[in-house]
Amino acid sequence: MDQAPVRRIVIAGGGTAGWIAAAALVKLIGPLIEVTLVESDEIGTVGVGESTIPTARTFHQLLGIDERAFLRETSSTFKLGILFEDWAKQGDRYIHSFGQIGKSTWMGDFHHFWMQARAEGWGGELGDYCFEYQAAKAGRFAIPDQGHINYAYHLDAGRYARFLRGFAEPQGVVRVEGRIERVEQHPETGFVTALMLASGERLEGDLFLDCTGFRGLLIEQTLQAGYADWGHWLPTDSALAVQTASVGPAVPYTRATAHEAGWQWRIPLQHRVGNGLVYAQAFLDDDRARALLDSRIEGEKLIEPRMIRFKAGRRRKVWDKNVVALGLASGFVEPLESTSIHLIMIAITRLVQLFPFGGVRDGVTARFNAMSTAEIEKIRDFIILHYHLNQRGDGGFWDQCRTMAIPDSLAERIAAWRDGAIAWQASDDLFRVDSWVQVMLGQRLEPRSHHHMGRMIVEGELQGALGKLKSDIANTVAQMPAHQDFIDRYIAG
């Protein structure tokens, strides 16, 4: 059956996913389509995705969002990376920074030079050669007039959704208040044709975006697209989230601190701190989790902790018939590396690139699904890496993570690193070589060998080059303002 042209887009659900989608569609292809978003004030959103990665900046630039206005209205702060504490062993600390480490060559990446230097007894720490790493460690931040700094944001998810609504509605997005009571489908194709609201209003559309969170009202409850469960690799399934008053200046990094059955996040915003305890119910019951969270947070609680249940995995079809799932409706890889908002942004960008103006057809949906699957599975592997490479001695949860079978794709990466310090970023990889290197070293996976290209450099030249790079970074960081001071001046400008 020939499919009708696609012009009417109906977004089911608001929150971060819904309003990111609405803002992108109306800004990028608005003259060609009609966008309606339906959400209900009666239905809450998860609203705790408060940390991003640098791709968020690219997305904002694509939409023409003013950074200062965004920071002011969302109480955002800057983020240079994630501080991991107690992951490989209790007492360990390392930073997964967003920066480029050193300078690489066609023959090999910078870490091979550093490993040669370390083998000779003078290399220092790998982070010495990364500007963003040193700035994060020092609690400093600035956007240089010349040069480059790679950063992301910590943000208030509720305020972010309101900010995007204020951006999208003046450009033509129509918001409908209401609760979806029934989903209508074409009797032959199974395509969704309309959403019936409790008010009696009927919203027809050609393409529907499911932003209804974990329940997946359209993609799963209606179309039964299926779900690939990754709980055997990522066993955490619960989180307690709470907001606290700030007890000091905001730092330019997220803190991820491991505990007996998972980890705790701490995300500094301008007006408060976002906290959460991620855990596996099989190893920590809810009452003990709440007590553990209470014992580890700093500052006065502004709300009572909120319970969130989740299941790591992905939708088997993110795009099924004429429904595209976004955000939590499409799948979930726990928030350890702050990838949830990125996955929304890249999905809607991909949809714009593959937009089915001439009608929804299998070739387009298959391509979209293949790209989505490849990316989220590689993100999954990167998250598993943190858990699997642990040497903690507290048994239970961590023993299971260390001894579990892992995906072949991750086993291949670990073997290549262990045997030859080889790391790579494929075309559909989100995380760069520097990210893999920082986490594998941070998790105490020391390679047995490395490329010896450093030995070909004239004696003294390598030491001089690395010494200059280290001192240049240290000098630049020393001249930067404290992160909180920069924010205060920047948003006032």
3-state helix, strand, coil in the chain (%, to 5): 40, 20, 40
Q: For residue 44, what pLDDT is reported?
A: 60
Tens-digit pLDDT profile for residues 197-213: 999 999 999 999 999 99
Query: What pLDDT is attached to residue 145?
Result: 80
Q: Give percent of the chain above pLDDT 90.
A: 94
Q: What is the pLDDT of residues 412-456, one digit of tens each?
A: 999 999 999 999 999 899 999 999 999 999 999 999 999 999 999
Q: Which residues are catalytic?
A: 79
Q: Which two tokens stand for residue 148?
A: 């480059």
CATH number at residue 31: 3.50.50.60
Q: Are residues 337 and 210 in the same domain?
A: yes
3-state DSSP assignment of residue 458: coil
Are 239 and 276 in contact by the 8 Å Cβ rule? The answer is: yes
**What is the Cα–Cα distance from 330 to 225, expressed in whole angstroms?**
10
| DSSP secondary structure, 32-68, as one string | G-EEEEEE-TTS-------B--THHHHHHHHHT--HH
Per-residue pLDDT of 317-371, as tens digits, reads: 999 999 999 999 999 999 999 999 999 999 999 999 999 999 999 999 999 999 9
Q: What is the mean pLDDT of residues 266-289?
A: 96
Q: Are residues 206 and 273 in the same domain?
A: no
Tell me, what's the pLDDT at 301?
95
Evaluate if residue 113 carries a pLDDT over 80.
yes
The pLDDT value recorded for residue 4 is: 85
Tokens of 299: 């500052």
Q: What would the pLDDT profile of 254-275 be if each residue is shown by its tens digit?
A: 999 999 999 999 999 999 999 9
Residues 305 and 244 in one domain: yes
One domain for residues 161 and 280: no
Q: Is residue 185 part of a domain?
A: yes
Report yes or no: 99 and 473 within 8 Å, Cβ to Cβ.
no
Q: Tell me, yes or no, whether 389 lies in a domain.
A: no
CB 433 within 8 A of CB 425: yes
Q: What confidence score (pLDDT) does residue 395 get?
A: 85
- Average pLDDT value for residue range 368-390: 98
pLDDT over 70 at 49, yes or no: no
Please indicate, yes or no, whether residues 317 and 304 belong to a single structural domain of this protein: no
Kindly state whether residues 286 and 168 are assigned to the same domain. Answer: no
- Across 381-432, the runs of DSSP E, i.e. the strands, are none
Are 176 and 36 within 8 A, CB to CB?
Answer: yes
Residue 409 lies in a domain: no
Task: Let me know if residue 436 belongs to a domain.
Answer: no
- Residues 355, 328, single domain; the answer is yes
Domain-ending residue, one of 287, 309, 331:
309
Pick the last residue of a domain from 289, 309, 329. 309
Give residue 465's pLDDT band: very low, low, confident or very high (50, 70, 90): very high
Residues 323, 346: one domain?
yes
Q: Could you tell me if 195 and 317 lie in one domain? A: yes
pLDDT at residue 337 in the model: 96
pLDDT (0 to 100) of residue 46: 53
Which residue among 269, 287, 309 closes a domain? 309
Please compute the mean of the pLDDT values over residues 160-181 and round it to a whole number: 97
Confidence of residue 239 (pLDDT cuts 50, 70, 90): very high
The answer to whether residues 305 and 195 belong to one domain is: no
Together in a domain, 322 and 187: yes
pLDDT of the residue at 196: 98
Please check whether residue 370 lies inside any domain of the structure.
Answer: no
Percent of the chain surpassing pLDDT 70 = 98
pTM score, two decimals?
0.96
Domain that holds residue 290: 238-309
Nearest in space to 324 (alpha carbons), one of 357, 287, 273, 360: 360
Binning pLDDT at 50, 70 and 90, where does residue 147 land?
confident
Closest CA to 101 of 132, 73, 60: 132
C-alpha 149/C-alpha 146 separation (Å) is 10
Instruction: Count how many domains the chain has.
Output: 2
Q: Is residue 316 part of a domain?
A: yes
| 41 pLDDT tier (thresholds 50, 70, 90) | confident
Interval 80-110: pLDDT, tens:
999 999 999 999 999 999 999 999 999 999 9
Q: What is the CA radius of gyration of the chain?
A: 23
Given a cut of 50, whether residue 1 has pLDDT beyond it is: no
If asked whether residues 317 and 214 sit together in one domain, one would say yes
CA atoms within 13 Å, Cβ hemisphere of 79: 28
Which of these ranges, 12-26, 35-49, 142-156, 276-290, has the smallest mean pLDDT? 35-49
Inform me whether the pLDDT recorded for 2 exceeds 60: no
Query: Could you tell me if residue 43 is inside a domain?
Result: yes
pLDDT value, residue 45: 57
**Residue 259 within any structural domain of the chain:** yes
Q: How far apart are CA 464 and CA 458, in angstroms?
A: 11
Taking all residues of the chain, what is their mean pLDDT, rounded to a whole number? Answer: 95
Tell me how far apart the alpha carbons of residues 423 and 421 are, in angstroms, rounded to a whole number.
7
